[in-house]
Amino acid sequence: MNTEEAQKRIQELSQLLHKYNRHYYLLNESLVSDQEFDALLRELQELENHFPQFKNENSPTQRVGGALSDKFEKVKHEHPMLSLSNTYSLEEIQDWEDRLRKSSEEDLEYVLELKYDGVAISMIYENGALVRAVTRGDGQTGEDVTKNVRTISTVPLVLDANAVPERFEIRGEIFFPLKEFNELNEMRQLEGLELYANPRNTASGTLKNQDSKVVASRGLDCFLYSIHVGEKRFESHFEALQAAREWGFKAPPAEKKYVAKAKNVEEIMEFIQYWDEARKDLPFEIDGIVIKVNTFDLQEMLGMTAKSPRWAIAYKFKAAQVSTLLEDISYQVGRTGAITPVAHLKAVHLAGTVVKRASLHNADQIEKLDIRIGDTVFVEKGGEIIPKVLGVNLALRPDNSSPHEYIDHCPECQTALIRREGEAQHYCPNENHCPPQITGRIEHFISRKAMNIDGLGGETVEQLWKAGLIESCADLYHLNYDDVLALERMAEKSVQNLLNGIDASKSQAFEKVLFALGIRYVGETVAKKLAKHFKNMDALQEADVEALVSVDEIGERIAHSLRDYFEDPEHQKMLEDLKVSGLQFEVEESDLPQSDQLEGKSFVVSGVFSVYSRNEIKALIEQNGGKNVGSISKKTDYVLAGDKMGPSKLKKAEDLGIPIISEQDFIEMIS
């Protein structure tokens, strides 16, 4: 066979095998026997071996895995992969819907989906071919696991390029089917190996395996349920799901009730109640139901919080309970000085994992449940990393039992604890000299959403602190190469990476620096608002309580916390040190409003526009001193209306007498 014939045959076999794969895994149809399929696959493999120049990274032969990976590259997501807010009751779902109805006058329709207990994945396709698959990671940055994802039979490697957008992102969940998971554990048991705890953790570990042949052998599966396309191609999430199935993806099938529409809370609860019972018959694990607003226009109008979308929520099924012996109670000190009591339990299996510790929350909870060392307690893992104690089996309480006395001094530095009025937790006030508070604040400072210092983790922070090299965040910027290299397990390359990461962090925006300081009640969103309003650290430090509460959404609790922080002499010294080290203590010129033409004006943006996208228009409003708001009220100054604006929203604006302007009106307004 000559080169030209080989190239042609490789293309024919690839197209044929992709077709057979799609029909078998997605349409449940066998077009050829297993023997015929294997024979064609062997022929393709042999041709690729003899003519490697024609081997494609999306060849059907990649399903069996290939060479070892030495690392997984970090990749920044084009759109953040936010987590969902969780709810556990009908009342919480009703509260969520009530908030939606206050934000929109339009009729609400929901899409209900199963919450697969697996690993979130984002995949990019270009010209119909899979080019990249990335894990969720921290929501902003994930790991490139493309080579391993290519081995999953239900993930299409190539699509009909004429039927799909030129470039798009699709997201979903990779999971371990129960049949394959149980077979894997049976095999490990026969080999005398430790059994895997649960399908979700095993799926996650498998996806990070450096040998893609191992991944291919495990039989992972994938449901895909969210499409991101540059242009506006679909009106609703449900329509996009239908398109995903038509393109060749394994999207949740409506005929199996894996996905459905609902118009009210009653229909939502019917779906939840059905699957709370029926989930035991599924061939994979789910831990709840995801509820999403269906139309994309309404999703965009509702927007996001710093952590999750406002237009979606996850209902978590009630977790399983077990009872076990409470052997001891210890206390942890957080970075803010908050004291958290922790129950040490006799090891017990719960929801697929071995549980040895559980949260007791605070002194009030211990007193309310009358929890005592030596009790047999009921433990639940209700969506938390650390399980919680729900109650006590009083029938099994020992005769010599005595009430538990909550500590009154810090277990780390022996400082007397305080409890602020109206708060449930006790605190250690020795924030500048209590070891876990010092290291906790530094760990927060270096975290990805704060200063994002590569090459530096919690263990290294602990090591640097114990060696006396750092006492505060500011000390990180005075580390020198020789001192760090002298520490245990420190090689030249890792030291250089650490110092490079510290140096690179100096370019982080002012709002990130403000969040990184770990001021109580100042999260990401509050830090952004404060940075935007005061524009630099000096102005913020000088602001009194009255000036602080005048900022949108800043209340007295936050204001007093800020004043307490800035009035502390040690904090003042550290801030001056950070400023001298070159951190960003003011908003960059490019982030400031370009004009004050819209100062004090609030806008509701709705519909589809021709010159700018909706996000570009919102950015222009802020760049010119205006404010974007999500819903129409008497306080709204303008409604910027594009095509396909909802009629109910239009009517509300007219009823309230709010000026309705076009995109061209807006452009002239800021020109």
358 in Cβ contact with 540 (< 8 Å): no
Look at strands 602-606 and 638-641 and give their pairing: parallel
The DSSP symbol for 472 reads S
Please give the Cα distance from 161 to 421 (Å, whole number).
63
Cβ-based burial of 587 (10 A; exposed 0-12, middle 13-18, buried ≥19): middle
Other CB atoms within 10 Å distance of the CB of residue 608: 13
Minimal CA–CA distance to 356: which of 387, 333, 382? 387
**Known catalytic residue: 512?**
no
319 in Cβ contact with 383 (< 8 Å): yes
Q: How far is CA 20 from CA 23, 33, 38, 41, 218, in A?
A: 5, 10, 11, 11, 21
152: left (phi over 0), alpha (psi -120 to 50) or beta: beta
Q: Residue 410 corresponds to which amino acid?
A: C
Select which of 19, 55, 115, 356 is catalytic: 115
In sequence order, what are the residues at sequence separation of 6 or more whose Cβ sits closer than 8 angstroms to the Cβ of residue 193? Answer: none
Please give the Cα distance from 319 to 350 (Å, whole number).
9
Which two tokens mark 52?
Answer: 């490697």
- DSSP alpha helix (H) spans, 26-88: 34-50
Q: How far is CA 437 from CA 199, 332, 459, 477, in A?
A: 36, 10, 15, 19
* Burial letters 227-265, b for 16+ CB under 10 A, else e: bebeeeeeebbbbbbebbbebbbbbbeeeeebbbebeeb
Please give the Cα distance from 312 to 289 (Å, whole number).
11
562 in Cβ contact with 519 (< 8 Å): yes
Kindly list the catalytic residues. 115
